[in-house]
Amino acid sequence: MSSPFADRLASVWAPNGSGRARRRNGIATPQVTGQVLVLEARTLLSSTAAATFQFKAIASNLDTTKHLFNIPTPSASPYTQLRGGSIAMTGLEGFPASLALAGGSPSKFTLSFGSSVPGNPPALKLTSFDNGLTDGIGKQFFTKTTGNVNTMTLFLSGKAVAVGTIDTLTVLTSTGFESTGIGKFTFTQSAGTDPTVFNELLAVTGGTGKIAFHLGTFSFSGAPTGFGTDASQFASTGSFDSTMTTLAATPASAAFGQKVTFTATVAALTPATGTPTGVVTFKDGTTVLGTGTLSVVNGKAVATFSTTKLSVGSHAISAVFEGSGVLVESKSTVVTQAVVKASTTTTLKSSAATAVFGQSVTLTATLGVVSPGVGVPTGTVTFKDGATVLGTGTLSVVNGKAVATFTTSGLGIGSHSITAAYAGDASFKNSTSAAISQSIGKASTTTTLKTSLANAVFGQSVTLTATLGVVSPGSGFPTGTVTFKDGTKVLGTGTMSLVNGKVVATFVTSSLSVGTHSITAVFAGTVAFNTSTSAVLTQTIAKANTTAVVTSSVASAKAGVSVKLTATIGVVSPGVGVPTGAVVFRDGTKAIGTGTLSVVNGKVIATFSISTLTVGTHSITAAYGGDASFNLKTSAAITLTIT
């Protein structure tokens, strides 16, 4: 848009067909010619529109004052593109002045540039308004013309943009168009909605400008900051073409970890041509997932992005074409991508399917992810014996697999139905293994026998100690009794108890006969432990030593008087018992008589009375002959005098 003079200025703002014109003081009859671009506030059709305006002013007393202006915010409604034909206004005096185009239907079509208007356009009228100044009113002429003096070039700061995402534009011209204050004019529909008037948009001086308007809903930002060459900012002007981005997801509903491929197809909207190139950004809400580069597949521009990292839940996925060349940015509608928890499998194994009581058994649960889900489950696994919880294990990665273990040595005797139940987590479903049969048998035992004295004497107290051991891999503490035997003869029993960390049973006896004894200890077994018998222990019992003491009822006696001799037999410690048998009384070496041992007042004695000793001194002894359990013994001699 241009005007070589600052007397009368006109500008066109196309999105809703409105602009401004201003009459200046001291202006002779101006003439403004050009074509008019009309964009109706209706449904978006496609592509871009272009309008060429040439302004001529026939006057003198040029006023080249430059003016600041602001940029308002237009309506946010989408609109239908119409390209206007020639509009001529001649010989009109004063304001307002208007021109109506013939109405009709249909209302949605494209008008081509030229001297005639094809089709049946809606009724439009062009109205110019006085700015309130009353002097210098002259005629206005609007006639079609051709040719350009200067060309205004519009550059986009950054990239081509899409509807609703307009970036800053900077106006540059080859001759330096100037910003000026302007009035206003509007395009209005004779039927339909009221137009929107955009005030203080853009006016330039010094030639002809060409402006292309991009279809869409725009918002403005910024304003000129001073006099001189304009660097104003306004909505998508420039020769940019619309695009459409469509998005598809495969699959529409995925399991966690499953590969999801997003495919964006970008097309230039008619009448634009060409194949879009560049980059498409894929977003989950406002979070960027990644990008894909457009390539031609089956004649279409497509970009793909695949991911396995979407969390469980609903994701609002969109694809944004960033624009390239004259093709502007476009954004797909949101595609809802559902990601559900991945199904899992739980496999259970035992380190020993058949174990013994007390044996440590490690239960290992291995978590698998059912295809197409992928990933590594986390959390815990509960191990059960039937309905009874044995314990839990935390999942960890071992050799690339998610495993949880639980070790126990507390399973009772019998068959156990073991399962492993995975609780699930935020990304994976729960699952329970098939039951495995865990058999627990009795643990084998060992019995070790010791004696407190391998060689004892008759009557001596001997302690027999049986120590119970559990054969690996079994473990635990056997309970119950141990039977101690001498050959096949039962000596007695002992109850097992824990002593210094060992299971022992003892039996004490002093009744073993003289001789060699084959002693064994037999563990009877329990519900959890098998029976066991010790190796034979040889227990030797020797005769106990004895003592013999002889006494006389009198130390001196008359010949023919009866004298009582008494032999007392004792047992030397550690021997114990009551010797039996006979005692031989001697006078020197001559046996003078015998006595049988008996217990009198707790003592073992034998007596003999004699009255036939001759006169004189006699050396009397008592000789115990021993028995099966006690050794023989001869007393010391006593002197018996017969007078």
| CA pair distance 49, 237, nearest whole angstrom | 10
Using a CB cutoff of 8 Å and minimum separation of 24, what contacts does 284-292 make? 284/310, 284/315, 284/316, 284/317, 284/337, 285/315, 285/316, 289/262, 289/317, 292/262, 292/264
Q: What is the dihedral of CA 266, 267, 269, 271, to 10 degrees?
A: 150
Task: Using DSSP bridges, classify how beta strands 401-408 and 361-369 pair: parallel, antiparallel or unpaired.
Answer: antiparallel
Give the model's pLDDT for residue 326: 66
Q: Could you tell me if 356 and 441 are in contact, meaning their C-beta atoms sit under 8 angstroms apart?
A: yes
The three-state (H, E, C) secondary structure of 218-237, written as one string: CCCCCCCCCCCECCCCCCCE
Rounded to two decimals, the pTM is 0.58
Structural domains of the chain ordered from first start: 8-214 (no CATH), 243-340 (2.60.40.10), 344-441 (2.60.40.10), 445-542 (2.60.40.10), 546-642 (2.60.40.10)
Task: Using DSSP bridges, classify how beta strands 295-297 and 300-307 pair: parallel, antiparallel or unpaired.
Answer: antiparallel
The one-letter amino acid at 430: N
| CA pair distance 502, 505, nearest whole angstrom | 10
Secondary element (H or E) of residue 542: strand 537-542
Q: Mark the ranges of the chain whose per-residue pLDDT is less than 50.
A: 1-239
Give the model's pLDDT for residue 170: 28
For residue 469, the tally of other CB atoms under 10 A from its CB is 16
Find where tokens 């595609």 sit.
335
Give the model's pLDDT for residue 351: 97
- The tens digit of pLDDT for each residue in 489-499 reads 999 999 999 99
